[in-house]
Amino acid sequence: MALTDHCDDQALRQQLVNVARRMNSTGLNQGTSGNLSARIEGGILVTPSSLPYEQMEADDLVALDLSGHPLREQQRRPSSEWRLHADVLNGRSEATAVVHCHPIHATALACHDRGIPAFHYMVAVAGGDEIRCAPYATFGTKELSENVVEALGPRNACLLARHGMVTLGKDLESALRVAVEVETLARMYLQALQLGEPPVLSSAQMQAVHAQFRGLHYGQVDQSPR
């Protein structure tokens, strides 16, 4: 594909910057760690490497095709995790955005290779009966992105061993909301573990939760009750 200055939307760029800043302000992320992306024609728009979010502007976002080739000239260097974003979005046509962050409680669980079981019905917000933890792999590698894609399956969130969390959504707002929910669940689960391993909902009980979400028209990506 030829390089172009018209391959993505300026409004989407600004939304991505805004969501990146909110990701840090909510405590989901710290410093320049973590990264976000959104689907565009011909590829993805992803946050740049090593640029503090409070300094980031719309034109700093990096446009790549799904193989990592630039779609614009004179761009910043993309996030080292661009491949993770490209591979997740490439395999999930219904999603348009990915959030990768390092929240304290979810990452604490991931440091023990632990996901989040169905100890609470809101685990269903991630689209499954549990939130899996992807095996460890070096950041920025194909191995990591493959592990994440497998751990996600059809779900909308997973943890990354000794690393952090990934969520996806129908848009950036949905992906961020799922990340907030998963971090809240991780904090609750860690608190519950102080009394021992909590009981979990059965598969039948979780299926009833999924059916209730569907009946109330909560989407696969944005399912949390309002």
Catalytic residues: 81
Sequence-distant (≥ 6) Cβ neighbours of residue 34 within 8 angstroms = 23, 24, 28, 99, 100, 101, 102, 164
Two tokens at 159? 């943890």
Q: Where are the alpha helices (DSSP H) in the chain?
A: 10-25, 82-91, 104-110, 142-152, 172-192, 203-215
C-alpha 139: how far from chain center: 15
- Other C-beta atoms closer than 10 Å to the C-beta of 43 total 25
Q: What is the gyration radius of the CA atoms in the chain, in angstroms?
A: 17
Residue keyed to tokens 């979810």: 106
CA-CA-CA-CA torsion sign (138, 220, 36, 103)? negative
